[in-house]
Amino acid sequence: MQPSFHKRRSRQEDGDTSDIKLACSGTINFMPQFTYLGSMIHSSLSDSHNVANRIRKASVAFGALREDILRTKYVPLLAKAALCSSEVLSVLLYECESWYLTQKGMLTPLRNW
C-alpha cells in the first residue's frame, strides 16, 4: 500500500482571510499588509509593495535634501553628489538584496526613479 501524500493548502490559497480563533478565546487578525523590520510584507508575498514603499521613502529623502542642500550654491557639486549617493540611495536600496525583481512589476519603476 502506497502512503498518500497531499499538500496542505494555506489559508491564503484557500481564499480564507477570516480571523483565527484561538482555544484560549483569543483572536489572530488577518492583515493584508504590515511592516516588519522596516520591510513591507504583503499578503500576496510579492516584493512590489516593498519596492514602491522604498521609492516613496527615497523620494521624500531626496525632497528633504533638495529643499536645503541641493538648491544652495555654497555646497560644492561633488558634496551634493556624495550626499545623494549616501543618503537617498541607501534609503532606496535598503534590504534590496532580498527582493525578487521582475521586469514588469518592480525593475521598471526602479529604473525610472
Task: Characterise 80 by phi-psi region: left (phi > 0), alpha (psi -120 to 50), beta (else).
Answer: alpha
Q: Cell match 525632497: residue?
A: 63
Domain tally, the chain: 1
pLDDT of residue 12: 52
Is residue 84 included in any domain, yes or no? Answer: yes
Is residue 30 included in any domain, yes or no? Answer: no
Is residue 6 included in any domain, yes or no? Answer: no
Domain span at 73: 39-112
pTM for the whole structure: 0.62
Is residue 34 included in any domain, yes or no? Answer: no
Is residue 51 included in any domain, yes or no? Answer: yes
Cα–Cα distance for residue pair 45/81, rounded to 1 Å? 35
Kindly indicate the confidence band of residue 6, based on its pLDDT and cuts at 50, 70 and 90.
very low
pLDDT of residue 78: 93
